[in-house]
Structure 1
């Protein structure tokens, strides 16, 4: 059992959980490596309640052992976990288990160094403090894309994204996207046929507060490049990527 946080200590995580449910493909496993606090225990309970198959780890020394034993689809790792330098742990996981996606939890001041280490479209990060529904959304997206990323190409009708090289084509023609436009497209591709709310897109693309107006602006940029008919607006709810 995870011990309680020190008295008076501020929680780095919010345990508020939104109404959405995590999509978990069969046989996918998540290793959750967070410090041994009451807040971490609450995150673990919330993810399990959402149907995520989770193995908890509370110190950096045990992360590699659990990854080797469980062969997970995804590792959620707090970079300030007790134990060895977690940058080294991430590098070891990437080397020994390259198919494991890493979602790193980091304070803002360590973000720049972390971005150099994470692998493009496979890995991800969240800034502390974060809400559990935000983490759940990232897990949902990465577990959905995981098996497809291995073939490097995602397709939706005549729209194709080669995730290895970051190349986007529409009707066989190459399309140049900005990093933000590309992240927005990937977030929509991660929920095929679903209406994706602006606040969820903001969390998945910007990893920090972003207004619905900003999301709308980038949706319009993306429409101009991939075709306006490919992103449908559902009034009052969000956006759907069409085939």
Structure 2
């Protein structure tokens, strides 16, 4: 997943208390973010500014949002997308998302979950601008999906790779199991499942590189 250097966020959600709360939360953190409320406005805003990230409700008023999403992907391929969808439209939406570049969030969502997902995407975008991330003796080529540790190639599953990317996005900080679950699976996953994949990842990149902070989460060490 890669977000271009433009870190402006376009928030295409219905004007509800939840969307207003997301705007307030991110603006208080200094995030450049602007709201739009229909599909035509989405296309106009993307064409005029080409934001780094688009949060798009698939049931937003206006044109069919599947067509809006396709137009954004065609006209502005560097814009990453978080699509907000009801569960019954999830299966159809997945076929339209572009691998690691796009993401989705089921509705109803928690305000802090969407805000955290947006922050994570922006941090990943900064980290992977040059497609190669180096963290101590760990190197990740995000374009090729290649990982090396101490100069040796390591083969990760897609889920293990996604978890490593989530840890890299917040390296040096404690990441809670809930936040990892949200970043990797895009929906609720148990703390036990997160722990299982942390264990898998430790076996491949070195147990000492992922430190457990009891009661809080995990830290990626250099």
Q: Return the TM-score normalized by structure 1.
A: 0.82
Maintained 8 Å contact 2:210/2:221? yes
Partner of residue 46, structure 2: 67
Higher relative contact order (CA 8 A, sep 6+): 2
Q: Return the TM-score normalized by structure 2.
A: 0.90
How do residues 93-112 of structure 1 correspond to structure 2 at under 5 angstroms?
93-112=72-91
Q: In the TM superposition, what whole-angstrom CA distance separates every residue of 1:84-105 from its partner, at most 9, and x where no partner exists?
A: 1212212222222222111111
- Once residues 38 and 48 of structure 1 are traced to their aligned partners in structure 2, the CA distance between those partners, rounded to angstroms, is 15
How do residues 145-224 of structure 1 correspond to structure 2 at under 5 angstroms?
145-224=124-203
Which segment is superposed worse, 143-152 or 233-242?
Answer: 143-152
- Structure 2: gaps (5+ residues): none
- Once residues 177 and 66 of structure 2 are traced to their aligned partners in structure 1, the CA distance between those partners, rounded to angstroms, is 32
Q: Secondary structure at the match of 2:27?
A: helix
How do residues 129-144 of structure 1 correspond to structure 2 at under 5 angstroms?
129-144=108-123
CA RMSD in angstroms, aligned pairs only: 1.9
Partner of residue 7, structure 1: none
Q: In the TM superposition, what whole-angstrom CA distance separates every residue of 1:193-216 from its partner, at most 9, and x where no partner exists?
A: 111111211221222222222211
Which segment is superposed worse, 65-74 or 26-35?
Answer: 26-35
Question: Among 58, 67, 75, which residue is 1:88 paired with?
Answer: 67
Q: Secondary structure at the match of 1:105?
A: strand
Question: Among 89, 93, 99, which residue is 1:114 paired with?
Answer: 93
Maintained 8 Å contact 2:127/2:169? no
- Once residues 67 and 95 of structure 1 are traced to their aligned partners in structure 2, the CA distance between those partners, rounded to angstroms, is 11
- Once residues 93 and 238 of structure 1 are traced to their aligned partners in structure 2, the CA distance between those partners, rounded to angstroms, is 36
Q: Secondary structure at the match of 1:117?
A: coil
- Once residues 174 and 131 of structure 1 are traced to their aligned partners in structure 2, the CA distance between those partners, rounded to angstroms, is 38
* Residue 27 of structure 1: how far off its partner (Å): 6.6
- Once residues 92 and 149 of structure 1 are traced to their aligned partners in structure 2, the CA distance between those partners, rounded to angstroms, is 25
Q: In the TM superposition, what whole-angstrom CA distance separates every residue of 1:16-61 from its partner, at most 9, and x where no partner exists?
A: xxxxxxxxxx973110001233443343333333432211110011
- Once residues 21 and 149 of structure 2 are traced to their aligned partners in structure 1, the CA distance between those partners, rounded to angstroms, is 43
Maintained 8 Å contact 2:22/2:114? no
User: Judging changes above 3 Å, is the alpha-carbon distance between structure 1 residues 184 and 82 closer, same or farther for their aligned structure 2 residues?
Assistant: same
